[in-house]
Structure 1
Amino acid sequence: MSIASLTLRPATAADAPLIAAMHAASWQATYRHLLPAAFLDDEVDAERAAWWRARMEAPGGERRLVLIAELDETTPAGFVCVERQADSPWGVLLDNLHTLPAWQGIGVGKRLMCAAQDWARARGEAQLYLYVLEGNTPAIAFYERQGWQFSGAEPDRMGGVDITALRYVYPLDAA
Structure 2
Amino acid sequence: MKIRPADASDLQAITRIIAAAYHKYIERIGKPPGPMIDDYANHIRHHTVWVAETKRSVLGLIVLIPEHDHLALDNVAVDPAQHGQGVGRSLMTFAEQEAARRGYTELRLYTHEKMTENLAMYPALGWQETGRSEQAGYQRVFFRKAI
* TM class, shorter-length: 0.7 to 0.9
Q: Which AA in structure 2 matches 1:29? A: K
> What is the DSSP-based 3-state SS (H/G/I as helix, E as strand, rest coil) of the residue aligned with 2:52?
strand
TM-score by length of 1: 0.74
Alignment pair present for 1:68 and 2:48: no
Alignment pair present for 1:168 and 2:143: yes
Deviation at 1:18, TM superposition (A): 2.1
Deviations, residues 84-118 of structure 1 (Å, cap 9, x unaligned): 12x45xx1100111112221222111100101110
User: Which residue of the other structure, out of 9, 15, 39, is the alignment partner of 1:14?
Assistant: 9
The equivalences for 1:24-173 within 5 A come to: 24-36=19-31, 39=32, 44=36, 47-48=37-38, 51-58=39-46, 61=47, 64=48, 66-70=49-53, 72-85=54-67, 87-88=68-69, 91-157=70-136, 162-172=137-147
> What is the DSSP-based 3-state SS (H/G/I as helix, E as strand, rest coil) of the residue aligned with 1:106?
coil
The farther-off stretch of 23-32 and 147-156 is 23-32
CA contact (8 A) 2:43 2:63 kept: no
Select the structure of larger CA radius of gyration. 1
Distance change in 2, residues 1:11/1:121 (3 Å) = same
Distance change in 2, residues 1:29/1:78 (3 Å) = farther
Q: Could you tell me how far apart the structure 1 residues matched to 2:91 and 2:43 are?
A: 19
Q: What is the RMSD of the two structures over their aligned residues, measured on CA atoms?
A: 2.0
CA contact (8 A) 1:82 1:96 kept: yes
Q: Greater helix percent: which structure?
A: 1
- For structure 2, list consecutive stretches of 5 or more residues without a partner in the other structure: none
- For structure 1, list consecutive stretches of 5 or more residues without a partner in the other structure: 1-5
**Aligned residue pairs: how many?**
145
